[in-house]
Amino acid sequence: MQILWLPITLFCAFSLATSDALTKKALAARHNEYLIAWFRLLLMLPPLIILLLSVPLPPIGQEFTHTVLSALPLELLALILYCKALKLSPLGVTVPFLALTPVFLLVVPYLLLGERISLTGGAGILLIAAGGYAINLHTSGKGAMEPLRAIFRERGTLCMIGVAFLYSFTATLGKKAISASSPLFFAGLYPMLLFACLTPVALWKGRHDMRLLHGTGILRAALLPALFSLLETVTGVIALSLTNVAYMIAAKRLSLLMGVLYGHFLFREDGLRGRLAGGGLMVAGVVLIVVGGH
């Protein structure tokens, strides 16, 4: 039964990459990023309600409540930064930096608790850093440091680095909340709570666009991203319940290579070879961290 976590996680990665690509397509049509994120969650509500009504109610204690309340503000900020990253920069430049999440899962305990980083884990960090450099290698003609400067010039990349950092906390908190409840219950409830938190922010930030809602096609634009986001949520929590959080995060990060391909074939982004090479190095680094860093 445990081996099922891998195909489930790979489908989760595919759903994530597809949802990202479709979300970027909606944002490219100049739809408000807050409203796209909000409608994406809104359209997920009916199947989530059905899911909640169909699963047994687990015993809910203080541990679950405290964990979810701790995760929600971080998740909300990560969602907003994620949509901004997709809007501001090419997919092939932004999504590979989600590979930094396992790095933060490794480095944060080192900084806070003094836990040692293994040699393999350190090598994984170096590979991820090399991958980030390789993604912008086409700028190296302007100097050896230019690929690094390009990372910090790209606002979408900076947003995605922030997302990766936040995800290092929310992934751990999510695993804890699943253990304190059940996978499908958490999969149904958590996005609904996130929707409730996002609602005042989205309605305020998108208040001007809401007045022009009729005829803009924003609901239609958010429908498919919502479907794949729902699939990603459900398969993600099931996979988390079947394996170690770091293993699941590492395999799920294959979505970044899928995102690079979507960027090239769907949005005609250039630099495919460099971005695939950089993304591949990042995935290899994640694997090393999982194998020897924990």
Domain boundaries, the chain: 2-292
pLDDT at residue number 122: 82
Instruction: List, for residues 78-101, the tens digit of each pLDDT value.
Output: 999 999 999 999 998 898 888 888
Q: For residue range 107-132, list pLDDT tens digits in order.
A: 766 665 566 777 887 888 888 888 88
Considering the entire predicted model, what is its pTM?
0.85
> Would you state the pLDDT for residue 222?
87
Low-confidence ranges of the chain (pLDDT < 50): 294
Contact between 275 and 131 under an 8 Å Cβ cutoff? The reply is no
pLDDT at 139: 62
- Model pLDDT, residue 213: 61
